[in-house]
A and B are shown apart, each in its own frame.
Chain A
Amino acid sequence: MRILVIEDEKSLAGLMDQTLRQHGYAAHVVHNLADARSALAQPFDAVISDRRLPDGDGLDLVKELRAAGNGVPILMLTALGLPKDRVTGLEAGADDYLGKPFSLFELIARLKALLRRTAGAKGLQLEAGNVVLDTLHDTVKIGGKAALFGKREVVLLRHLLQRAGEVVGKDVLEQALYGNSHKEEGADSRNALEVAVHRLRKLLEGSGATLEIVTVRGVGYMADEIKPAK
């Protein structure tokens, strides 16, 4: 996968380049907006961009790309890490926002999540642990073997996998499962979600999946890889 990195701090850019290559990405590093614009003549799978660049604001590039109909996933990377900067960045069309200083592991994790989300939207494969979901055919494979899932469980799994490692709100899941009608049903639908999650858990456990569904009481659910105990 080809990733464009726009970062004027050369030592940091070098370290990011190195890390991305270690994780199997082909990084192309530029240090200013002008070089970034010419590089973007070629397609990229994702863009990681700083904001304060020698020849302007990285956010302007985001706006240009979105105005031109370019939907490439963009991760903003910046020292302007205030809550309101985050909101401004997301409103301008960036897909995620990571404040400096950051951990390279977090950068990779965010990039993976970003690619996973856009991949899911494009109808590709979603993957976490040993669970693979083909969003085009709604089929699930666990540890390479096909597993038989009901339609609701697949929808639930897709939404959880698109944001694996993050909490997905109950309202989002209910909306996905039952549409707007769930609001009128009240307590029943909340129960229905719990039942669906319970069933999904059973299926995952029964198939030896290294993925668990974590309940975050009062908020929602999170799909998380089960890491082997050290």
Chain B
Amino acid sequence: MPLPHLPLPRQLPKPLQKLIMPRTRAGSLLGRLMFRTGVLLLVLMLTVVGLTAWLLNQAGDRIQDEFLRRQAAELVAGLQDIPGGPLQMRLANETLNAYAQRLDGYTFMVENAEGRITLESVPMARAYLAPALGLKANRPVLLNTVARDGRNEAMYILSMPVNTPRGVYYLTVGQNRTIDDALLGTATTETFYSLLSYAVPLLLVALLLGWLTLRSAINPLYRLSGKVRALDALSGETLALENVPREVRPLVDSFNTLLGQLTRTIDAQKGLTADTAHQLKTPLAVLQARLEQLDDFKGKELLLKDVQRMSRLVRQLLHYAVLSQHSANLAVADIGETTRTVVASLVPLARQAGVNLAYSGPSTPLLARHDAGLLTEAISNLIDNAIRHSPKKGNIEVTLESSGNRIELTVNDRGPGIPASEQALVFTRFWQGPDVPHEGHHGGAGLGLALVAEVMRQHGGQASVSSRAGGGCAFKLTLPV
């Protein structure tokens, strides 16, 4: 049973799940970063705006409370407790007036310890200060009547104990929400909305800057992937750690480790191929020698041909494995000399097959960077091929030409030719011509032309084949000068 990815409950609403759960498909890293940064910025901004509005509101309330406290302090100072007489309130005239007229809703009352009202700013002031009636608060208490009376009738109320020699009294002072208060509320609201109206463009600008920043932060990844693309798995090179961000280094390290394993595996594979081919050579030599020592019998020639064909395959397999393991040892030398030597060495084989082999090239040395050993291998494969496919008395012409910045070496034969549809395939491994006869007269091993292509690749050149007018084909090797 597969383990669940995350312990998220199923009942989470779908959009929320989408938001929190990592999607199984990677999607765009930049997109995801942008989305999350955007959400984060939005939440942050809304929080700041909301907090500011709330703080403004609080400030308004605190001003009101502070005002009430001062009012209460003034009233406490004005309480006159004359022994034997009633409790009195002595205040400045205008203050008394203000209370008497309930200017701005100013109201107070004093209760004694028994809960009886001993002083009121106006008759029935208690109606305004109802929440404090009989409260007997032993420390200053703020009461607010917004909930009960609606916003415009709401009162700020402060009730506190006052100690006199006669005993404890309870002073309650109250004030209606004033115009100022309403104005302050409006200002708060307006500030909230204008903050919001700044927040939206700010958010957009932040997102744009964020996108630019993130994109440039991701750039090293693009550069890295460019470098990876340029890597040649066979060359044994690895990714350099320079200019790689610290966070990506573990990835590059792991990649290099993997690359090392890959290279070692490929090398081991080629080594195995080379060793196997090498080990096969001696038993094949013994087999061939034994066959040659036998008296003539029916089928001996064919058996010998089979052994020779197998030997050629093994030899080419070895050469191919070794060749793809090492790179060419290029040096400037006369390519005409190299070609003539190959042609000369194959003349006996051509004569045995009754084929005429000729060469034509410039009379002066033609200098080109090449690996004489490898090029010899490639050219002899082509000529060997041509000999095996030529009819008796057929002509094979090897030509060498220099045209511009290229050198063209062509092997022309008058064999059966290769159909145009097959011409692109001949340089692939183990390609067999469409006309392979049963008895293996042509007996190609299928690796010769792949070897030619590999040699050309290592020379920075290329191998191609085309049909000749009048029959046969032309194998052309093109080399840069």
- Chain A residues packing against B (C-beta within 8 Å): 9, 11-12, 15-16, 18-19, 79-84, 86-87, 99-105, 165-167, 169, 214, 216-220, 222, 224
Flag whether B110 is at the interface (Cβ < 8 A).
no
Q: Please determine whether A214 and B351 come into contact, CB atoms closer than 8 angstroms.
A: yes
Chain B, interface size: which category? 35 or more
Q: Please determine whether A81 and B292 come into contact, CB atoms closer than 8 angstroms.
A: no
Show 10 A/B contacts (Cβ-Cβ < 8 Å), sorted by A.
Answer: A19-B289, A81-B281, A101-B314, A102-B285, A103-B292, A105-B292, A218-B360, A218-B398, A219-B340, A219-B347
Q: Please determine whether B358 and A104 come into contact, CB atoms closer than 8 angstroms.
A: no
Q: Find chain B residues with CB under 8 A from A84 CB.
A: 329, 373
- Chain B residues packing against A (C-beta within 8 Å): 278, 281-282, 284-290, 292-293, 307-308, 311, 314-315, 318-319, 322, 329, 340, 343-345, 347-348, 351, 357-361, 372-374, 376-377, 398
CA distance A219 to B344 in the complex (A): 7
Q: Please determine whether B318 and A169 come into contact, CB atoms closer than 8 angstroms.
A: no
Please name the residue on chain B nearest to A10 by beta carbon. B286
Q: Please determine whether B286 and A103 come into contact, CB atoms closer than 8 angstroms.
A: no
CA distance A79 to B280 in the complex (A): 9
Q: Find chain B residues with CB under 8 A from A218 CB.
A: 340, 343, 358-361, 398
Q: Please determine whether A216 and B347 come into contact, CB atoms closer than 8 angstroms.
A: yes
Q: Please determine whether B344 and A220 come into contact, CB atoms closer than 8 angstroms.
A: yes
Q: Smallest Cβ distance from B303 to chain A, in angstroms?
A: 13
Q: Find chain B residues with CB under 8 A from A100 CB.
A: 281-282, 284-285
Q: Find chain A residues with CB under 8 A from B290 CB.
A: 11, 15
Q: Please determine whether B293 and A15 come into contact, CB atoms closer than 8 angstroms.
A: yes
Also in contact, A79 and B278, with CB within 8 A (given A105-B292, A217-B360): yes
Q: Find chain B residues with CB under 8 A from A224 CB.
A: 351
CA distance A218 to B347 in the complex (A): 12
Q: Please determine whether B340 and A104 come into contact, CB atoms closer than 8 angstroms.
A: no
CA distance A214 to B348 in the complex (A): 11
- The 8 Å CB contact of A167, one of B278, B315, B344, is B344
- The 8 Å CB contact of A16, one of B289, B347, B359, is B289
Q: Find chain A residues with CB under 8 A from B293 CB.
A: 15, 18-19, 104
CA distance A87 to B372 in the complex (A): 10
Q: Smallest Cβ distance from A30 to chain B, in angstroms?
A: 17
Q: Smallest Cβ distance from B119 to chain A, in angstroms?
A: 122
Q: Find chain A residues with CB under 8 A from B315 CB.
A: 81, 99
- The 8 Å CB contact of A79, one of B282, B340, B398, is B282
Q: Find chain A residues with CB under 8 A from B278 CB.
A: 79-80
CA distance A105 to B360 in the complex (A): 32
Q: Smallest Cβ distance from B253 to chain A, in angstroms?
A: 37
Q: Please determine whether A101 and B340 come into contact, CB atoms closer than 8 angstroms.
A: no
Smallest CB-CB A-B distances: 4 pairs: A83-B373, A218-B359, A167-B344, A101-B285
Q: Smallest Cβ distance from B318 to chain A, in angstroms?
A: 7
Q: Smallest Cβ distance from B411 to chain A, in angstroms?
A: 13
Q: Please determine whether B343 and A219 come into contact, CB atoms closer than 8 angstroms.
A: yes
